[in-house]
Amino acid sequence: MKKVHIKSYGCQMNVYDGQRMADVLGQQGYVETATPDDADLILLNTCHIRERAAHKVYTELGKLRDLKRERKAQGRETTLVVAGCVAQAEGAEIQRRQPAVDLVIGPQTYHRLPELLALAKGGRVVDTELPPEDKFGHLPAPKPAVIVARGISAFVTVQEGCDKFCAFCVVPYTRGAEFSRPVTQVIAEVERLAEAGVQDVSLLGQNVNAYHGEGPDGGVWTLARLMRRIAEVPDITRIRYTTSHPRDMDEELIAAHRDLPQVMPFLHLPVQAGSDRILAAMNRKHTGDEYRRLIDRIREARPDIALSSDFIVGFPGESDADFEETLRLIADVRFASAYSFKYSPRPGTPAAELAGQVPLAVMDERLHRLQGLVEEHRQDFNHAMVGRTVEILIERTGRHPGQLAGKTPYMQAVQIESTTHRIGDRIMVEIERAGSNSLFGRAVERPELAA
């Protein structure tokens, strides 16, 4: 039996893509293996978002070249594939820097993987085309057993690519223009997942709330409409979507948080910075106050919603005063969690050419302060759960025997002790304690008291 090892870096879409590539290769007789050591095919599914992420690929490839050589000496062939956003951005350059790579394949041609692998037997191959056909229409569905093995929570890409062109970001270049999958295709995929036991779906897109897919009625469907339809799929109990852009949060989508019980009270809505000057330079096309007002409207519809965001510190030209504006925005909104990054100049993006690049030491200090503030809010949010009874979806067994792990509707990890419950159960849990990364609670016997 042939074995493939897939290692995904970067965002959730890469995790999803990795699974879909495993499905394609499954049809070719490959089974997945968790380590590169016994794999005939090793595939790095890469991320180009920051310099460090892109750099990691070459370090990893160096190690894999050695592995490939050792094996060759033993008479065994190893095929090395680089997929994902570094593949798209750097193409043939990858094989120039690391000749051991057999195939470089961009995110839009994964359905051609078998054909390209066959071609690579005859010599190195690069394919970073952005073909006109819809790759999703050509990707095979996973087998039920594979879905079950992946767990009760699943990702479903519904939208890919981005037309926003934030000045710092490579995604519009690595993923291409915005594309929405047709509704019937998405529904078929969700139904298949649900039939194999999936309850919790995260709809993915670089700009997922810009979704505008072709509906079964021939009209254009919004994300809110798509979610209303997904909520009708039997056994889908939880729906989330990520990542959204503030400018695409329309009334219909906000209302979905109020009206659809399956839509979780959690929203990742990156703002990046708080200063209007920096937001304009980033080409975000919204101000700090517009973001605050949007948050107010979302909280009106769903008062208990947990918000999360992404931040960049040290965008070119960011002054101390600009940075203070970011802290002020964070203090106003109080996010339940957030990701934050030091600005990393990316080749080909407009911001990389800007004057006023911020020194590393300044970025370090700002990041430290920002993360301290976000962490305070995160801890407050988690501690406020203590004493409350909330619905937990049990996702897996916990670290210790008798322990089960699940999530609150707000995406918080929860551990409970129980021998009577199982993965996939939705149970009411009284939160007793908040640790630094996880909540701890006990199952409540009479859920009717929970409200």
The residues of the shown chain that bind ligand F3S, judged by CB under 6 A, are: 10-11, 13-14, 47-49, 84-85, 170-171, 174-175, 206
In this complex, which beta carbon is closest to ligand SF4, that of residue 46 or of residue 207?
A: 207
Contact 132, 178 (CB under 8 A): no
Q: Give all strands of the β-sheet with 306-313 in edge-to-edge order.
A: 266-268, 306-313, 337-342
Alpha-helical regions (H) of 38-132 = 51-73, 84-90, 93-97, 113-120
* Ranges within 192-231 binding ligand SF4 (CB under 6 A): 206-207
Q: Judged by CB under 6 A, which of 58, 165, 173, 341 binds ligand SF4?
A: 165
**The token pair that represents 58 in the structure block:** 């070459």
162 in contact with ligand SF4 (CB under 6 A):
yes
Is there a cis peptide before residue 243, judged by omega within 30 degrees of 0?
yes
Residue range at the interface with ligand SF4 (CB under 6 A); choices 36-44, 167-175, 321-329, 380-388: 167-175
Q: Residues 6 or more apart from 344 whose CB is under 8 A from it?
A: 49, 50, 51, 52, 168
Q: How far is the CB of 170 from ligand SF4 (least distance, A)?
A: 8
Residue 48 binds which entry of ligand SF4, ligand F3S, ligand SAH, none, with Cβ cut-offs from 5 to 8 Å by kind? ligand F3S
Residue 298 binds which entry of ligand SF4, ligand F3S, ligand SAH, none, with Cβ cut-offs from 5 to 8 Å by kind? none
In 10 A of CB 326, how many CB atoms? 27
Pairwise CA distance, residues 322 & 305, whole Å: 28
Residue 312 binds which entry of ligand SF4, ligand SAH, ligand F3S, none, with Cβ cut-offs from 5 to 8 Å by kind? ligand SAH
Q: Judged by CB under 6 A, which of 4, 11, 24, 201 binds ligand SAH?
A: 11
> Angle at the Cα of 156 (from 153 to 160), degrees rounded to 5?
145
Burial (CB < 10 A; 0-12, 13-18, 19+), residue 352, is middle
Residue 47 binds which entry of ligand SAH, ligand F3S, ligand SF4, none, with Cβ cut-offs from 5 to 8 Å by kind? ligand F3S
In this complex, which beta carbon is closest to ligand SF4, that of residue 239 or of residue 279?
A: 279
209 in contact with ligand SAH (CB under 6 A):
no
Pairwise CA distance, residues 35 & 4, whole Å: 9
Q: Judged by CB under 6 A, which of 159, 174, 202, 243 binds ligand SAH?
A: 243
Collapsing DSSP to helix, strand or coil, 440 comes out as strand
Residue 138 is classified by DSSP as H
Pairwise CA distance, residues 15 & 18, whole Å: 5
Q: Judged by CB under 6 A, which of 39, 166, 351, 367 binds ligand SF4?
A: 166
407 in contact with ligand SAH (CB under 6 A):
no
273 in contact with ligand SF4 (CB under 6 A):
no
Q: Judged by CB under 6 A, which of 157, 180, 207, 209 binds ligand SAH?
A: 207
How many residues line the site for ligand SAH (CB under 6 A)? 17
CA distances from 379 to 199, 312, 386, 428 (A): 28, 21, 11, 22
Q: How far is the CB of 9 from ligand SF4 (least distance, A)?
A: 16
172 in contact with ligand SF4 (CB under 6 A):
yes
* Ranges within 134-193 binding ligand SAH (CB under 6 A): 168-169, 171
Pairwise CA distance, residues 297 & 299, whole Å: 5
Dihedral sign computed on CA atoms, order 55, 61, 62, 64:
positive
Q: How far is the CB of 239 from ligand SF4 (least distance, A)?
A: 21
135 in contact with ligand SF4 (CB under 6 A):
no
Q: How far is the CB of 354 from ligand SAH (least distance, A)?
A: 12
**Residues in touch with ligand SF4 (CB under 6 A):** 162, 164-166, 169, 171-172, 206-207, 245
